[in-house]
Amino acid sequence: MRQRQHNLLQAPAFLLGKIEVLKDVDCLFHALAYPDGLLGRDLRYQVAAFMRQQASTQGAFQATWLHDADELLSGQQGGYTAIIAFSLMKRLKIEVHADGPSGAITIIDATHPDLKVDPNLPVRRVFYNGKNRHYEAFVELGRGVVFPTSEPMPCTRCSCACHAPPGFYGDKGAEP
């Protein structure tokens, strides 16, 4: 029996899936904590304490880290600074996948700048729905093969927060 030859290009890919988490002010922390089986509320306080402890090592962002730690402790929703702090605290690369205005997914590298030089860091992913201001866990379900579509998809990957969709991180400016 002869095997058929396929002329399609195949690309190995991660198969990712969204894991719905509670829709409350701790949703970012639920999403970040999901792979470890921790409670989001507990992680919120760990991140806030870490931010206070490490603020003096953050150069020009010391005041931002202290301010945002206080906001987390007062019950405000976490955002970019908390993600950066979590990255440093857990020594992880963080990818934030977000719905773009055109419907394409934008991937933002939210890894702490001190860790970006290490290509061997494990990756933690979260999904951000800007319409609802809600984070979800975004986990690797396995690996597979993706066959290209007839129309090329535009690349939306960027490696810095400056390309985040408008309002993605609220009114605070992006930080490294």
Give pLDDT tens digits for 99-120.
877 778 888 999 999 999 998 9
Give the global pTM. Answer: 0.73
Distance CA 158, CA 40 (A): 27
Query: Does 175 fall in a domain?
Result: no
Q: What is the mean pLDDT of the chain?
A: 78
In a domain, 55, yes or no: yes
3 assigned to some structural domain? no
Please tell me which residue, 139 or 89, carries the higher pLDDT value: 89
Residue 30 lies in a domain: yes
| Residue 119: count of CB within 10 angstroms of its CB | 6
Q: Are strands 105-109 and 123-129 parallel, antiparallel or unpaired?
A: unpaired
Higher pLDDT, 100 or 58: 58
Task: Quote the pLDDT of residue 155.
Answer: 37
Spatial CA neighbour of 94 closest among 78, 75, 113, 77: 113
* pLDDT given at position 133: 86
Q: With bands split at pLDDT 50, 70 and 90, how would you rate the model's confidence at 13?
A: low
Token output for 17: 């899936």
Token look-up 């409670």 returns: 39
Whether 173 is covered by a domain: the verdict is: no
How many domains does the chain divide into? 1
Asked if residue 42 belongs to a domain, the reply is yes
* Containing structural domain, residue 63: 11-163
Residue 60 located in a structural domain: yes
CATH number, position 131: 3.90.70.80
Confirm whether 81 is domain-assigned: yes
